[in-house]
Structure 1
Amino acid sequence: MKNVTVTMEDSVADWARMEAARRNTSVSRLIGEMLAEKMRHDDAYERAMNEWMQRDLGYASDGRAYAPRADLYDRATDRLR
């Protein structure tokens, strides 16, 4: 374990002391647990994003340009009439 010095606003330090007391732990352990949870969350998000970005959607382009938005909109409104 590493010891670090953390600088924070007085109101944040007051909240941390009260929260640590409520959880029956030290401010140091509370901050360590919060940072560990943040790290796990960020790692999980990063893994999920990478998996999502690497999925194969099955879309294939033949190189032709997409239809202009106005044409798509006109076709959609024609079907509603």
Structure 2
Amino acid sequence: MSRYYFDLLDDHILAVDEEGLELPSLQAAQAEAAKSLADMARDAVHGSSAVAGKRDMAIEVRDAAGPVMQVKFTFEIERSKH
């Protein structure tokens, strides 16, 4: 098993994962990142930050050797002008 770290990037705010998770494979790390990113997106839509505009979120996955992947999500809210 390898330890993977999941750094959260919400627009330009970075939260570095200092603990990480022991996971059996890179595929398991990808699944964990995708699940976490879906949770971030859901919280953003339901939270006070759901205002018109574009929002970029990502989870940057790394192991002891460095970055291994980035899972990204972008959503945009456009409101009609009437």
TM category (shorter chain) comes to 0.3 to 0.5
Structure with more contact order per residue of length (Cα contacts < 8 Å, sep ≥ 6): 2
TM-score (norm 1): 0.33
Larger radius of gyration: 1
Judging by fraction of residues, say which structure has more strand: 2
